[in-house]
Structure 1
Amino acid sequence: MFEASRICRCVICHDYGDRDDYGADDRGVIDNVEKFGWSVTGVPADQQGPGWSYTIGRWHSRGGPELAMFGLDLSTMQSCLNILGKRDGLADGQAHDQVVNGYPVRLRTIEPTWYKAFFGHGIWFYRQPPIPFLEVVWPDRDGTFPWDTGNLSQPHLWLAPGEHPPGVWTQDV
């Protein structure tokens, strides 16, 4: 679905006339994408709920989907996303080992209707119709994934917002 529209309209590939307005965070993302191929943005946990991290720039640099991870501490999620970020051919339904302390992770396609709620800096960077995002889903200590238990410690962004169980992840949608 996304490969056919693989025209990058990001702020690196296209001058939108606002480059003088970029702040330090914006320039940091651009520098990381140019140096490493992507940047990892972290949104810390707060009183409203758990934090999350996501990549910006994999679509630009590698033609691969961006990645997002939820509900663990920021440094763990950023490390996991950097490990996966180096891998090619990432797709919905895949399992990947050697990412989270001996636990496998699964990749799930994120419904674009969630992007505005979770990926604001990515939207700024790309400024185009949705680019692909995959949620990196981790199991609990028993190796059980949230779709098996209904656990909401991480969102189920492969579901449309109207199908997602109400909770902390749905309050901004």
Structure 2
Amino acid sequence: MALDACTPLQLQQWQDQEDAWLRDTVRRHGWAVQYAAGAPPFAYTVGLYGFGHPELLVYGLDLQASAWVLNHFGDRVREGERFGPGRPMRLTGWSHRLQLFPFHDGEEPPVLGSAQRYYHRGPADPVPALQLIWDDSAGRFPWDDGYDLPGGLQPAPRP
């Protein structure tokens, strides 16, 4: 459904259904993964904040890879592990290294819109989040010389 072509009532009905799905998914699994197929595509968690952990955001991956990465972290958070900014790390079963950076979602509209709505937060006090930045096939991150993925695929984090 093209949301910009909806009537206000249709938009509210869509939002209500989305919120019901989100509540049910978080209740059953502990978190949900929201995916936006924009340019660039991105995905983020909703529910990790309920475990006392920042939500996680990743840009530039397809739906399957995004869900795999975020669910891998979600499983580890549910088991009590905590992640924060720091040195590059690897996930078993994935060829890329990752680095985590603080992400401030204080703009309107928010990037993590479903998470902000789920926790009743807004631009003045957004849900804490970390952005996962992944390397290219040669192990270079976007700030390294020779990084070979398209510019803008992984926007710089918003501290």
TM-score for both structures, normalised by structure 1: 0.70
Per-residue deviation at 1:82? 0.3
Aligned 1:89-100 pairs, distance under 5 A:
89-98=82-91
Residues 39 and 50 of structure 1, relative CA distance in 2, 3 Å threshold: same
Rounded Cα–Cα distance in structure 2 between residues aligned with 1:127 and 1:98:
32
Per-residue deviation at 1:113? 3.0
Instruction: Write out the 4+ residue segments of structure 1 that deviate beyond 6 Å after TM superposition.
Output: none
Question: What SS class does the counterpart of residue 109 from structure 1 fall into?
Answer: strand
The count of aligned residue pairs is: 136
Question: What SS class does the counterpart of residue 109 from structure 2 fall into?
Answer: helix
Is the CA contact (8 Å cut-off) linking 1:59 and 1:65 kept in structure 2? Answer: yes
Aligned 1:20-59 pairs, distance under 5 A:
23-45=16-38, 49-59=39-49
Is the CA contact (8 Å cut-off) linking 2:110 and 2:116 kept in structure 1? Answer: no
Partner in structure 1 of residue 154 of structure 2? 154
Between 27-36 and 100-109, the greater mean CA deviation after superposition? 100-109
**Aligned equivalent of 1:82, options 68, 71, 86:** 71
Q: Identify unmatched segments of 5+ residues in structure 1.
A: 1-19, 160-173
Per-residue deviation at 1:99? 5.6
Is the CA contact (8 Å cut-off) linking 1:146 and 1:152 kept in structure 2? Answer: no
Partner in structure 1 of residue 131 of structure 2? 135
Q: Which amino acid counterpart does residue 49 of structure 2 have in structure 1?
A: W
**Aligned equivalent of 1:109, options 85, 102, 110:** 102
Rounded Cα–Cα distance in structure 1 between residues aligned with 2:112 and 2:158:
15
Rounded Cα–Cα distance in structure 2 between residues aligned with 1:114 and 1:93:
25
Deviation track 1:119-170 (CA, whole Å, cap 9, x = no partner) reads: 11111111132221000110011110112248432111245xxxxxxxxxxx
Is the CA contact (8 Å cut-off) linking 2:105 and 2:158 kept in structure 1? Answer: no
